[in-house]
Amino acid sequence: MADAFRARLGHDFARPDLLAQALTHRSHGARHNERLEFVGDAVLNCVVAQALYERFPGTDEGDLTRARASLVNGVTLARIARRLALGDAVRLGDGELKSGGAKRDSILADALEAVFGAVFVDAGFDAARRVIVAAYGEELAQANPTTLHKDPKTRLQEWLQARRMPVPEYAVVGTHGEAHAQQFAVECRIPSLGIVAGGAGASRRAAEQDAAGRAWEEVISPGIASRQRPA
């Protein structure tokens, strides 16, 4: 599983033990990923700040700060981690494993930051920047500081309303895990565009935001966005 994840990540570790540590939750053993997460958080913020600074030279500090916060928050990190199928590779203790920890936003987000930290420790800033920019490809390509700070549900709803289209429908389609660590599965449905996007989270609200973020990725794809213009 870790080998497949490493291939998806696109970095050949000189020290494979760093990746193993990054993928180890504290519930699994003493050599867990929290120190690497600390490093990864700092590197991620720096890479995203640089990317936004270079791409939007006329944008003020406030908008850049809000845009960065939106890109590095737990919801976005968890969505990228799922895209990379990180949950298949993360190592958890028996309790966390049984309670669905491999699908939990917080565990996925923390592990992804730890992975970024592991790449930095293994090969330096340039290597970490390449990995982060590749992982954030869709998010950075569609970044817009004037709207990015809005949560996914708000952004999606405003986009549709500007085009006089019905707002999305959200439906809980499943729950799993123990009562103290329950995970919700939600679908965001936009019938007028033929979009049904699934999301997951530790609460219904978090799952709806995740589903809205995935629906947004479909909405702004060239095939759809090019056919829809503001009225």
170-183 average pLDDT score: 84
C-beta separation of 114 from 32 below 8 A: no
Which stretch of 18-27, 78-87, 93-102, 121-130 has the lowest confidence by average pLDDT? 93-102
Residue 169 is a catalytic residue: no
**Minimum mean pLDDT range among 8-22, 115-129, 144-158, 216-230:** 216-230
Q: Is pLDDT at 4 greater than 60 in this prediction?
A: yes
According to DSSP, the residues that pair with 198 across neighbouring strands are 187
Q: How do the domains of the chain map onto residue ranges? A: 2-141, 152-225
Q: Tell which wins on pLDDT, 148 or 179.
A: 179
The one catalytic residue in 37, 41, 96, 105 is 41
113 catalytically annotated? yes
Q: Residue 14 phi/psi, 5° resolution?
A: -70, -30
Among 37, 110, 113, 139, the one annotated catalytic: 113
Statement: 2-141 belongs to CATH 3.40.91.50: no
Torsion, Cα 116 118 119 122, to 10 degrees, reads: 160
Phi and psi at residue 198, to the nearest 5°: -95, 150
Mean pLDDT of all residues in 124-143: 91
pLDDT per residue over 177-213, tens digit each?
A: 777 778 899 999 999 999 999 998 888 998 999 899 8
Q: Give, in degrees to the nearest 5, the angle at Cα 43 between 38 and 46.
A: 130
Q: Tell which residue, 231, 228, 180, has the closest CA to residue 203.
A: 180
Quick check: pTM over 0.85? Answer: no
- pLDDT score of 230: 45
- Provide mean pLDDT across the span 78-107: 87
More confident residue, 60 or 146: 60
CB atoms within 10 A of CB 52: 20
Question: Span 152-225: which CATH code?
Answer: 3.30.160.20
